[in-house]
């Protein structure tokens, strides 16, 4: 489907982006190493399990669930979907939590995301990331190949404020020397990304690859990041 430019968005020179679920996704090899199971799940099984976990996660975030509770609920569902026995969940969740803090579990670029970011950068858009993370998201983005395109990365753990609080977006804009009227935000969780961007005074683009957010009416919705350049008139 051909995406038409959005008049308001084409005028905005700054594109703020979420990280996990927007630019980078779970590194399944890291996940399998952390689980260390006799029969590790294949990529197709993990894709399906993560898709279902994300449906739960988006709804939970909308109810205000956050932090370790959100983490355990999300990964607990993935573990259950790929056949890890319930009795082994607590140990597996703790192993995954430690692995994420040591080296990051979200390190794999989403298919096509690097090309999109490179295209936006080449077209003169200024790019930055605003992410709810645990202190390591910048190194994860660099490892995934995004470092050369980003002017700054705002990690909630490092700045002490998280989406949807508009202050985390204000930090990014201050670093860029810009105002909300110059920017837009792209993310995949309505309760964090759409609500936060709107509270910060900027429009939101909701990345919805599973088509689970048809009820969201206060954001432009796209199924793939590859649709973003055309939406911005590039």
What tens digit of pLDDT does each residue of 47-95 get? Answer: 899 888 988 988 898 898 988 899 999 999 999 999 888 888 999 899 8
Nearest of 82, 102, 79, 100 to residue 90 by alpha carbon: 79
* For the chain, percent of residues with pLDDT exceeding 70: 98
3-state secondary structure of 206: strand
The pTM of this model reads 0.91
Mean predicted confidence (pLDDT) in 130-155: 95
Fold of the domain spanning 7-24+109-231: Rossmann fold (3.40.50)
The whole-number pLDDT of residue 207 equals 96
Return d(Cα 79, Cα 94) in angstroms, integer: 12
Are 44 and 155 in contact, with CB atoms under 8 Å apart? no
The whole-number pLDDT of residue 85 equals 87
Q: State the angle between helix axes of 43-62 and 67-81 in degrees (0 to 180), rounded to the nearest 10.
A: 150
Would you say residue 104 has pLDDT above 70? yes
Would you say residue 37 has pLDDT above 90? no
The whole-number pLDDT of residue 38 equals 67
Handedness of CA 164, 168, 170, 173 (dihedral sign): negative
| 211 dihedral zone (left: phi>0; alpha: psi -120 to 50; beta) | left
Return d(Cα 170, Cα 189) in angstroms, integer: 19
Q: For the chain, what are the domain ranges?
A: 7-24+109-231, 28-103
């Amino acid at each position: 489907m051909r995406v038409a430019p959005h008049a308001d968005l084409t005028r905005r020179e700054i594109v703020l982006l979420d990280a996990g679920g927007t630019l980078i996704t779970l590194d399944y090899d890291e996940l399998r190493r952390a689980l260390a199971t006799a029969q590790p799940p294949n990529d197709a099984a993990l894709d399906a399990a993560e898709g279902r976990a994300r449906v739960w996660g988006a709804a939970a975030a909308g109810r205000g669930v956050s932090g370790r509770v959100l983490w355990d609920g999300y990964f607990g569902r993935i573990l259950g979907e790929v056949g890890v026995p319930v009795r082994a969940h607590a140990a597996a969740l703790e192993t995954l939590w430690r692995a994420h803090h040591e080296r990051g579990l979200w390190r794999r670029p989403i298919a096509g995301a690097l090309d999109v970011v490179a295209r936006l950068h080449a077209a003169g858009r200024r790019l930055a990331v605003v992410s709810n993370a645990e202190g390591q998201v910048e190194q994860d983005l660099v490892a995934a190949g995004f470092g050369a395109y980003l002017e700054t990365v705002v990690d909630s753990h490092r700045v002490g404020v998280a989406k949807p609080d508009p202050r985390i977006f204000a930090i990014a804009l201050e670093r860029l020397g810009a105002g909300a009227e110059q920017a837009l935000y792209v993310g995949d969780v309505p309760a964090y990304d759409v609500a936060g961007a709107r509270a910060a005074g900027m429009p939101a683009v909701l990345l919805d690859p599973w088509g689970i957010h048809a009820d969201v009416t206060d954001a432009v919705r796209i199924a793939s990041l590859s649709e973003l350049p055309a939406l911005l008139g590039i």
